[in-house]
Structure 1
Amino acid sequence: MSTAPPAQIILSTSRSFGLVAIACGTQYSRARRALDETGFQQIPGGASASPLTDGLTARQTASTLVHRAHEHGVTLTTSTRPYLGDIGHQIAAQLPGAWSSHPEIYSHPAWQEDLVPLLWDRGDLIHSVEHQRVPYATVLRNDTGTHLLLIERPGHSSEYVVGAFGPDGFDDNYEQAHAPRSVVLPAATDLAARAIHETFLPAYHRAVHHRRLDTVLSALEHIREEHLAWRAIKESGRSSDGMPLTGSRLLPELDGAFAEHAGLAFRNVLEHAPALLSRCRPALTPWPQDAAALDRLRAALTQIQETTAPDRALSSIPPPTTTGELAPGRSGVSALPVIETWLADSEAFERQARAAAPGGPVALAAPSPRALTARPAPPTMPGSSTKNR
């Protein structure tokens, strides 16, 4: 990370707050002390400000700050840009939908490092946060849960960079394969808002779609491998070490172990599949016959939702215990018909979900997604004949 003074005050101007000061550096407390002694007041987001009501007051404030900074060994830096909190507010106001902006200060360099695992990016944003000093930023949020980070582009006098935080429901955002690429924004806030709306957000939503799909398909593939091994052992009548299963206690234990393992992996399907299904429009694809399969998949998910409290739909599949062992319970076994339905119709799901990617021909022709609420007649859940379907 690039070096910076141990105690620094960065000054910028704001139409709302006047003279804005940001204390930063490994010894940022000295910078804050200088600001407090000068009469600066803290504003939302962690910066400090002094009103510029008239020229005489402004000159007196500047003179006092210079002396206090010198006394405390603080470096004063004047930014060529307006206060970033104002820029974020102006951009948010010009984005379609309900957006808000929230300034953040990373006074100590270590605070900036906390951003790295949270960002979902493979462009200038993550590179800047990892290798350049970024003492402040603005978070842009909308009412659908999208969180963006806006920073001043390091090494440039007027440009900005915007990228995304990882979406809800995922971990391990760092160097994630589907991560969108942050974009450079111009200084004009109307052009910056247009670039976010027309360039960055469409790429972001495509990336979320593909990440969801990859997560669901990986979970189903893992379950399928476990399912095949489970079926093979049951049909052979012997466990993996050759011990007969008939008349022993191993058979119910085998069933329970598969149910719990499969249930844990199926949590990713419960988390991410509904959003993917809501975008699917089989009638607009070359495979309209997939509609019946998608109805079965929706019904299977609804079955879990209706048999569990709405806020506990995911917790119906139990997590591991604190000792690392799988928690015993009936929920994994009860979810088996749902899991087997998803295994049987996974090919149609993948085909339709890929066709429904944002920006594709189906997405462009489709109406707004419908909620996963309508429940068709439940299908006959597959049992021992699943492998033949």
Structure 2
Amino acid sequence: MPAPTSEINLATSRSLGLVAITHGEKYQQANRALEEAGFARLPNGAFTAPMTDPQVARRTASALVNRAHEHGATITTSTRPYLGDIGTEIAALLPGPWNAGLQIYAHPLWQEDLFPMLWEAGEIYRALEDHRLPFASVLKNGSGTELLLVERPGHRSGYLLGALTDREQEDPHDDPTTPHSIVLPSDPRLAARAVTHTFLPAYHRSLHHQDLNTVLHALERIREEHETLQTIKDSGRYSDGVPLRNSRLIAGMERDFADHAWLSYSDVLEHAPVLLTRCRPAATPWPEDAAVLTRLREALAHSQDAWHEWNDLGDNLYSVPRTLPDHEWSQVRGQLGLAVLPAIETWLAHTKVFERQARAAEPGGPATLSAPSPRLLTTSPTPPSASRSAPVHR
């Protein structure tokens, strides 16, 4: 078994001077070497030393070599500039308000935290699997888009960029909507151009397809149970042919259906509004679909009270240390499902029209026109899971 490592990566920054990032199973020893050599620690966990005075810089470098040797730390000098600067420079050149921040994964196990957040199955995913990536720059636009920028391993220059997500996702290797990472050049202007004109359009198309698939899968789940319930009601028999002996059983089945249907329909309420805003039937071969899209928007509008009630209930429960028992949750969902049943049936009746219009409205596709109109619904998320935060630098 190889001995635990303690490593120091050195890079230069125009504004910070010499930047040092520690990593390895014994990264704390490297931290002590830097502190004793006179480096100052930044909030993100990196260490810096100025290079404005050549004599001071030489003394600091000499001290670092000695302290690193005493603490068993290995020093590596990077051929690239400090990644924190590169991320900031690229972010400043992207359209709209973007910012970038360096994250450090000092212990080798910490970079594994990126896997469930990485919406990617290309080169950057393989880089995480096969290489040690002790730091990365995360670019954010304030509207939920987060991009991961890392140095391209095995190359003396260039970077890899992929997408991060806090959504639940399938295995990215099996999900056709997964956006693929791209290789960026070293020049920040060329890199920003590639992000703007290549990566972000593909990323937004992937989001569109994922949202559309979420809605379609939700409707398919509802449709299957709805058809089963209708068959039982029409025939007066269970699916195995046994006759129904009590009309109250039908009412119970309807409540159970409404309970399950609400859970799926909440996906429609969350993701369908923005998809509908992109639909431009006049720019497609089916301009007559406009009337159907109007009915679908109206169905969402009629569901708005139930949607707000559901989210308000979730917010209230998460603000106090208690939860509803399962049977009470089922009762609430059933009541909401029955309240929006006409809207659900409208969506079931017009799923195919919605699908073809939403597919034609793919961002960057032939049916994309001017900026979409405001969203019909202002959807609030269902009770959130624990929020993602930057790794703690110990």
**TM-score, structure 2 as length reference:** 0.88
The 3-state SS of whatever aligns with 1:161 is strand
- Asked whether the 8 Å contact 2:273–2:376 carries over to 1, the reply is no
Instruction: Give the CA deviation at 1:210.
Output: 1.0
Name 1:334's counterpart in structure 2.
Answer: 339
- Asked whether the 8 Å contact 1:4–1:133 carries over to 2, the reply is no
Residue-by-residue CA offset, 1:335-375 (whole Å, 9 max, x unaligned): 21111111011111001001000121101xx110112339x
Name 2:349's counterpart in structure 1.
Answer: 344
Given the alignment of the two structures, is residue 368 of structure 1 paired with residue 367 of structure 2, yes or no? no
Residue-by-residue CA offset, 1:52-91 (whole Å, 9 max, x unaligned): 2200010010011111100010000000111000000000
| CA distance in 2: counterparts of 1:159 and 1:298, whole angstroms | 46
The 3-state SS of whatever aligns with 1:162 is strand
Aligned AA (1:133): R
Distance 1:373 1:326, change over 3 A: closer
Aligned AA (2:293): L
1:358 equivalent among 355, 363, 370: 363
Aligned AA (2:370): P
- Asked whether the 8 Å contact 2:302–2:340 carries over to 1, the reply is no
- Asked whether the 8 Å contact 1:120–1:173 carries over to 2, the reply is no
Name 2:78's counterpart in structure 1.
Answer: 79
CA RMSD of superposed structures (Å): 2.4
Unaligned runs of 5+ in 1: 375-389
- Asked whether the 8 Å contact 1:183–1:200 carries over to 2, the reply is yes
Name 1:50's counterpart in structure 2.
Answer: 49
- Asked whether the 8 Å contact 2:10–2:19 carries over to 1, the reply is yes
- Asked whether the 8 Å contact 1:101–1:138 carries over to 2, the reply is yes
Instruction: Give the CA deviation at 1:315.
Output: 5.7
Name 1:160's counterpart in structure 2.
Answer: 159
Distance 1:75 1:323, change over 3 A: farther
| CA distance in 2: counterparts of 1:311 and 1:333, whole angstroms | 13
The 3-state SS of whatever aligns with 2:161 is strand
- Asked whether the 8 Å contact 2:97–2:142 carries over to 1, the reply is yes
Q: Bigger CA drift: 35-44 or 322-331?
A: 322-331
Given the alignment of the two structures, is residue 174 of structure 1 paired with residue 193 of structure 2, yes or no? no
Given the alignment of the two structures, is residue 266 of structure 1 paired with residue 265 of structure 2, yes or no? yes
- Asked whether the 8 Å contact 2:269–2:307 carries over to 1, the reply is no
| CA distance in 1: counterparts of 2:329 and 2:95, whole angstroms | 46
| CA distance in 2: counterparts of 1:4 and 1:344, whole angstroms | 64
Q: Bigger CA drift: 305-314 or 328-337?
A: 305-314
Instruction: Give the CA deviation at 1:223.
Output: 1.0
1:56-75 equivalence runs, <5 A: 56-75=55-74
Instruction: Give the CA deviation at 1:226.
Output: 0.8
The 3-state SS of whatever aligns with 2:303 is helix
Instruction: Give the CA deviation at 1:263.
Output: 1.1
Instruction: Give the CA deviation at 1:45.
Output: 2.0
The 3-state SS of whatever aligns with 1:9 is strand
Distance 1:342 1:221, change over 3 A: same
The 3-state SS of whatever aligns with 2:330 is coil
Instruction: Give the CA deviation at 1:171.
Output: 3.3
Residue-by-residue CA offset, 1:105-124 (whole Å, 9 max, x unaligned): 00011110010111011211
1:1-389 equivalence runs, <5 A: 6-166=5-165, 169-172=167-170, 174-175=172-173, 176-245=175-244, 247-309=246-308, 312=311, 327-329=330-332, 330-363=335-368, 366-373=369-376
% identical aligned pairs: 54
Name 2:386's counterpart in structure 1.
Answer: none
Distance 1:141 1:361, change over 3 A: same
Q: How many residue pairs are counted as aligned between the two chains?
A: 367
